Structure 1
Amino acid sequence: MKLERFIMQIGIVITIFLILLHSDPAICNNKFSTAPTTKPDGKPFKLGYLEGGPYKPYKQHLVAIITQLQDMGWIDKNLKIPRTSDDDTQTLWMWLAENVKGPYLVFDPTAYWTDKWNTKLRKDNKRKVLERLKKGDIDLIVAMGTWAGQDLANNEHHVPVVVCSTSDAVAAGIVKGVDDSGYDHVIAHLDPTRYERQVRLFHEIIGFHKLGVAYENSVAGRSYAALDDIKKAAKEKKFEIVSCYTLSDIPDTSEAEKSVVDCAEKLAPQIDAFYVTVQQGVTLKNLSNILKPLYEHKVPTFSMRGSEEVRYGVLLSIASAGYKYVGRFLAETIAKILNGAKPRDLPQVFEAPPKIAINLEAAQIIGWDPPVDVLAAADEIYQKIEKVDK
């Protein structure tokens, strides 16, 4: 038994090393230059931004991209990114517009759009953004999230689009496939097996038979939840998926939050594990409400989003080491495009180095004693459940 555990731990270490080697942007894909440059006329490149609405991971992705562009010399390294609210990209963008003076990049204050999770505003914004892109004064636009990617991945314009922070850009219809976006001017960050790997790991640790999954039953909602990946893991590991439908991508966040709590209460008596998916109603301030019925029924949980939710009460997760690595990948992608690379010619797949996280207080609440090998493989161990500042 000890030998088997030792072999398992060695296997985990080797796997993480290989992923790091495979994923390191410094090792992979050096065909195109990432050096800071200007347009042929000596002027800086003008950037734009579109998002579906306020969402913390969007802000985290944007900060990571800016930080890495600073490290690469595209933006003054002495500029200190200001602290703003967790999901507020607009204030950050306007600060960039005011403080980044070139010579390489300009963040256009008139080229920022957010749909605020409003379908009518989304339609209006799509029209406005496409009209602006057709004018030809924007050199590259960042499409943050599924809505933005869906609205800009088309042949109605030809401005380079870098799609970030989507659960599955292929399933959402943003790009045609893993190896080809389908559009010369579009590229989307993909990690096609990330969530399948998560669910597989969750099953190997817990050994559940019925996995509860709450998500909005729409193309976008199923994409956010990576439902296709969960189904692949379910087929391989022979467990049942127990679904419950929520509301997401709506103007009223409180209504979305209530729908997730309702699903947790409904599913808790029927399941022996719960996968906390990415959606509007899963917020840190709502997490304790979601987890309460799951704790009461001793249901182990796994966060799709990552270790931050483990800090606040989810039992387990595996996620990227912060946003540094994916930020570097996206920053280098932007740099290569501005240096003349065609987005379609660049690789879309980047697997960020993983981190395993566990919350020991959550384990105690549900009466689960973590095996020694799981603790040995954990990069982040939280002794207590932290409280969210209201």
Structure 2
Amino acid sequence: MIRLCVAILALLSLLWIAPNPVHAEHPDRSMAQQGPLRLLCWEAGPHADHQLILQGLAEGLKELGLIQTSPVPEPVDNSTAPLWQWLAKNARGRVVFLEDGFYSAGWNENLRNKVRESIATRGKVLRDFDLVLAFDTWTAVDASVMDPDFPVLVSSVTAFANTELAKSLGKGTGNKVCVVHEQDRLYRLATLFHSLFGFERLGVVWDNGKNGRDMAGLNELDRAARDQNFTLVSCAESLWGEKPDVLEKHLLACNRKLAKEGVDAVFLTLAPEPASHLDAANALSPLTKAGIPTFSLAGGRELKAGALLGTGKRMQLALGRYLARIVADIIGGIRLPKDLVHVSPLVLSLNMQSALVLGWDPPLKVLAITDEYVDMDGEWRENGLLP
């Protein structure tokens, strides 16, 4: 009983975060939305985070009285499209999810420019939408290049401060592109990971393309390494936009390299979800066989495939609810700044099978902030102690 009470107190202290003010600008009533706010969705490709953010957004809009729907369904796979289509058919009120308003490049570099140009043309010619909800760093970069005359609200970027994306938005776009970024998210997670395992050498795999460092959040990981006095060991490969078999081959090669170089732990910043047919367990196998603890930024499939720790889904649901408040402000006539900072509650997911293999007994401070876990039978379970 004492252990349970301590766990609950620890949970409350870790989960409570002061409300994030959206921004202090006074609304311009002349800019207030007169009719329904019509939304488009734009993503580089499917990702579990996008679904959860969209789910949190819809639930937040319901709580604010801006839409009416039956209970929002839980995501069932890695595709954002089914939930968007469900909202287009079922949500009614001040916010409209356009049925023909879902755009995804499927993580295909060849389709990336085509999708961007389609949205740009629709905005200039048809003008039949009011706001673009965009997900991930790819779309944030593309939106900044587009320099649109319609508002674009971007979330699910790996990192923002001191990145090329932040610099490009500072050069223009007239406050039309707003990036909602989570303050020090990777720094906080890497610091927590280090407090649990005290590693001296942390491995990280990142894409060697133009925006690879930003997409892996290396600036924040570098800062965590300096502050916590560990060494960052990296492996750069061609990853984003590759076919599933090539992506798996490159991830496997990097993980073998990191294991051979004697890293003590690995921070997984690139999720295998862009390739729906990727064998995540095989890609992680060199680390699993070497008994190296892993932290997955994406959670989900990587946790099920053997990663030890990952982010909990409540982090993304909270971000979605924050976006709902921003949408409410837009309806009220507040213009978007170029970026907004959000601080998510620190919530984890845990693979109990991997913990057993590593001989690691999760401490109380981990159990207190774990919202879901993979049990000894390999099935996802909710942590019933969380409120």
TM range (shorter): 0.7 to 0.9
Counterpart of 1:348 in 2: which secondary structure? strand
Aligned to 2:357: 365
Relative to structure 1, the CA distance from residue 46 to residue 32 in structure 2 (aligned partners, 3 Å threshold; closer, same or farther) is same
Please give the secondary structure, in 2, of the residue aligned with 1:68.
Answer: helix
- 1:320-351 Cα offsets, whole Å, 9 max, x none, are 62533111101111111121101018x71111
Does the aligned pair in 1 maintain the 2:308–2:354 contact within 8 Å?
yes
| 2:111 is equivalent to residue 121 of structure 1 | yes
1:150 maps to which of 121, 141, 150: 141
Question: Equivalent of 1:235, from 198, 215, 226?
Answer: 226
Closer, same or farther in 2 for the Cα pair 1:72/1:123, shift >3 Å?
same
- Kept after mapping to 1: 8 A contact 2:36/2:95: yes
Counterparts of 2:361 and 2:303 in 1: how far apart (Å)? 16
For the 8 Å contact 2:208–2:239, the answer to whether it is kept is: no
Report if aligned partners of 2:202, 2:265 keep a CA contact under 8 Å in 1: yes
Counterpart check, 1:91 vs 2:82: yes
- The aligned residue for residue 247 of structure 2 is 256
- Provide the rounded CA distance (Å) in 1 between the counterparts of 2:289 and 2:274: 19
Distance 1:242-1:364 versus aligned 2 partners, 3 A rule? same
Give the Å deviation of 1:70.
2.1
User: Which runs of structure 2 are paired with 1:1-390 in the superposition (5 Å)?
Assistant: 16=14, 20-22=16-18, 24-25=19-20, 39-40=33-34, 43-78=35-70, 80-81=71-72, 86-100=77-91, 102-135=92-125, 136-153=127-144, 156-170=147-161, 173-176=164-167, 183-250=174-241, 252-270=243-261, 271-280=263-272, 286-306=279-299, 309-310=302-303, 312-319=305-312, 321-344=314-337, 348-370=340-362, 372-374=363-365, 377-380=368-371, 382-384=374-376, 386=378
Aligned counterparts of 2:129 and 2:274: Cα–Cα separation in 1: 34
Distance in structure 2 (CA, Å) of the matches to 1:260 and 1:339? 46
Quote the sequence identity (%): 27
CA distance 1:282–1:265, change in 2 (3 Å): farther
CA deviation after TM superposition for structure 1 residue 85, in Å: 5.1
Deviates more, 1:160-169 or 1:66-75: 66-75
- Counterpart contact for 2:88–2:97, Cα < 8 Å: yes
Q: TM-score, normalised by structure 1?
A: 0.81
CA deviation digits over 1:96-117, x for unaligned, max 9?
Answer: 33444x4422222343321122
Residues 52 and 320 in structure 2, CA contact (< 8 A), matched pair in contact too? no
- Tell me which residue corresponds to 1:4: none
Cα distance in 2 for residues equivalent to 1:60 and 1:296: 31
Highest RCO, 1 vs 2 (Cα 8 Å, sep ≥ 6) = 2
Distance 1:39 1:368, change over 3 A: closer
Q: Distance in 2 between matches of 1:307 and 1:56?
A: 7
Does the aligned pair in 2 maintain the 1:150–1:172 contact within 8 Å? no
CA contact (8 A) 1:254 1:281 kept: no
The answer to whether the 8 Å contact 1:56/1:87 transfers is yes
Superposition RMSD in Å: 3.5
Q: Post-superposition shift, 1:353?
A: 1.0
State the TM-score, normalized to the length of structure 2: 0.81
Structure 1 residue 31: Cα displacement: 6.9
| Amino acid in the other structure paired with 1:202 | F
Tell me which amino acid in the other structure corresponds to 2:60: Q
CA spacing shift, 1:363–1:94, aligned 2, 3 Å = closer
Superposed displacement of residue 59, structure 1: 2.1
Deviates more, 1:169-178 or 1:190-199: 169-178
- Unmatched segments (≥5 aa) in structure 2: 1-5, 381-387
Matching residue of 1:3? none
Superposed displacement of residue 227, structure 1:
0.9
What is the distance in 2 between the residues matched to 1:294 and 1:158?
A: 47
The code of the aligned residue for 1:77 comes to T
Q: After superposing the two structures, state which structure 1 stretch, 177-186 or 56-65, moved more.
A: 177-186
Classify 1:104/1:373 alpha carbon distance in 2 versus 1 (closer, same or farther; 3 Å). Answer: closer
Alpha carbons of 1:290 and 1:366: their partners in 2 closer, same or farther (altered >3 Å)? farther
Residues 109 and 171 (structure 1 numbering): CA distance in 2 closer, same or farther, change over 3 Å? farther
Q: What's the counterpart of residue 3 of structure 2?
A: none
Q: Provide, for residues 120-170 of structure 1, a one-character-per-residue CA deviation record: whole Å limited to 9, x for no partner.
A: 321122222112222433211111111211122357322111101111134
Cα pair distance change 1:338/1:153, threshold 3 Å:
farther
**Per-residue deviation, 1:208:** 1.0
Determine the C-alpha separation between the residues in 1 that align with 2:246 and 2:307: 22
Change (3 A) 1:314 1:283: farther
